[in-house]
Structure formats: structure tokens, C-alpha cells
Amino acid sequence: MSVRAIHDFDGEPFRKPERKRVVVVMPAYNAEHTVRKTHSEVVAHDCVDAVILVDDSSSDRTATIAAGLERTTVIRHPENRGYGGNQKTCYETALEHGADIVVMVHPDYQYTPKILPAMVTMIESGLYDCVLGSRILGGHARHGGMPIWRYVANRFLTLAQNMILGAKLSEYHTGYRAFSRELLEELPLDANSDGFVFDNQMLAQTLWSGFKIAEVSCPTRYATDASSINFRRSVQYGFGCLATSIESRLAGARVIRSARFPLRSAQ
């Protein structure tokens, strides 16, 4: 039996493009009860090449359990660096491991890993640079147990930020995100907070830099073992989100200079 090469229009042999390397990052803190279940659903997908879990000086066995999981690199901060500080380590390490696509999944199982392949495919297509798992699309937030005060705050902040930033996102506050390598290399993440507002600053920077964002509907789960911030920190986070949007708007108007939102000639 003879084997015939398939050629493209230029007469060259057709080669299937190499698959993008996908690395899942997990910013972890006291997640010993849920990390194994979350991880098992993550690595069940063939598209996932590696997992990086950064333990932010947990007081439980999160790092010990994660160290025994397949395809997983564990990094433990000797001191707590905050949620934003944890993510900085996550993304830096993922890029060092040759990631083309990085997906952040919280190890507390609040967001289902089952839609991970869909998020990866949307970035792999080249159409989008960032994909968000939205709790608001499809009405999953309240059904999944999101407290009413948190839901109302989410809707108010999202409306305000869409108006200030000129965007149309369904929410800015999901912790389930996928990014292209190009986006992570472009954004000045070191200029961002080490606290919870890091998430919001990163999305504002993504919009500022002109990267394309897509959203997919994501069922969520609120339980006692799922991570959450208290009311006082939620209020601080809310003011931080509004301050981030205003900072971006003022930087765009050249009223202020901002390390988070640097002006380029095209702008």
C-alpha cells in the first residue's frame, strides 16, 4: 500500500498546526477538602498539559495533598502574599513552563472545571485573548447559592464599570479565567495590587490594551468549604474596583499617569 502526502494550495505538504500548551493554575489557600476533586476534573481533560498550584502559606494540608497529584507542580509561599500576590506567582510560573494558554481555576470547586475545554478552544482559535466563566450569564449565580447582597453588589459594580470603561461585560468579578500567553506577557501585572482587587485591575488592563474578551456561562457552587471574603473586605474590594475604573479613564484622558495603564503611541 502506498501512502500519499496531502498538499496545500502552494504544493507544500499539509501539516496540522501544533496544539497549544495549556497550563492550569490554582491559587490556593486552605483548600485541603476540595483540591483533590477539583484537580481530578481538571486533568480529566486531554487539553490540559500541566497544573501549577501555588499555596499561599495555608495552615492546612493543601500543599501536601497537591504534591501527590499527577501533572502538578506545587509552589508554597513561606508567607501569605495575598490573592493578587498568589496570582502573580501563578502566571509567572506558567509562562516559565512554556504555557501558550493559561487557565485559572480556584481549587475550592466553586467553578466547575467541566467547561474548561470550551474556554481553551475559544483562545486557541485566535479569536479571543481572554475568556471569562460568567456566573451571571444563564442566571447561575443565585441558583448556585450566591448571597443576595453579593449579587446586588456584583450587578451595581458591573454596571458602573461598564459605563466608565465603555465595555459590555456581564461581570468583572469571576475568578474563572483563561488567558493567552501574549496577553500575560503584555500586561503590567507587577503594578497591580497583591489583594483581591488584582482580578479587577487585570480585566481593566485587558480592556485598556485592546485585547478581546469573551464570556461563557458557568454554573457555580457556594458552600462552607468554598473560599469567600467577608463583608468588610467586600466593601474595600468594591471601592477598589471603582477606583480602578476611574484610574483607567483618567489615564486615557491624559489627566494622570499610571503604571497600570501606560499610554502608548497608538492611544
CATH number of the domain within which 73 lies: 3.90.550.10
Is residue 8 assigned to a domain?
Answer: no
Distance between CA atoms of 50 and 22, rounded to whole angstroms? 7
Quick check: 28 pLDDT over 70? yes
Q: How far is CA 260 from CA 93, 191, 209, 213, in A?
A: 21, 6, 11, 19
pLDDT at 5: 38
Percent of the chain with pLDDT over 70: 87
pLDDT at 223: 59
Quick check: 74 pLDDT over 80? yes
| Alpha carbon 221 to its chain's center | 17
pLDDT at 167: 96
In this structure, the number of other CB atoms found within 10 A of the CB of residue 21 comes to 17
The three cell numbers of residue 19 are 496544539
More confident residue, 13 or 237: 237
More confident residue, 233 or 44: 44
Quick check: 1 pLDDT over 70? no
Is residue 261 assigned to a domain?
Answer: no
Quick check: 203 pLDDT over 90? yes
pLDDT at 9: 43
Q: How does residue 6 score in pLDDT terms, banded at 50, 70 and 90?
A: very low
Max mean pLDDT among 27-36, 137-146, 220-229, 230-239 falls in: 27-36
Is residue 128 assigned to a domain?
Answer: yes
The arithmetic mean of pLDDT across residues 180-202, rounded, is 97
Is residue 5 assigned to a domain?
Answer: no
Quick check: 206 pLDDT over 70? yes
pLDDT at 4: 39
Percent of the chain with pLDDT over 90: 77
| Residue type present at position 183 | L
Quick check: 191 pLDDT over 50? yes
Is residue 6 assigned to a domain?
Answer: no
pLDDT at 144: 60
- Number of structural domains (the chain) is 1
Is residue 263 assigned to a domain?
Answer: no
Q: How does residue 16 score in pLDDT terms, banded at 50, 70 and 90?
A: low
What is the chain's Cα-based Rg? Answer: 20
More confident residue, 101 or 152: 101
Quick check: 15 pLDDT over 70? no
Distance between CA atoms of 209 and 191, rounded to whole angstroms? 15
pLDDT at 147: 80
Q: How does residue 2 score in pLDDT terms, banded at 50, 70 and 90?
A: very low
Is residue 2 assigned to a domain?
Answer: no
pLDDT at 18: 76
Quick check: 150 pLDDT over 70? yes
Is residue 125 assigned to a domain?
Answer: yes
Distance between CA atoms of 188 and 257, rounded to whole angstroms? 14
Domain that holds residue 196: 22-252
Q: What is the dihedral of CA 196, 220, 53, 31, to 10 degrees?
A: 90
pLDDT at 142: 66
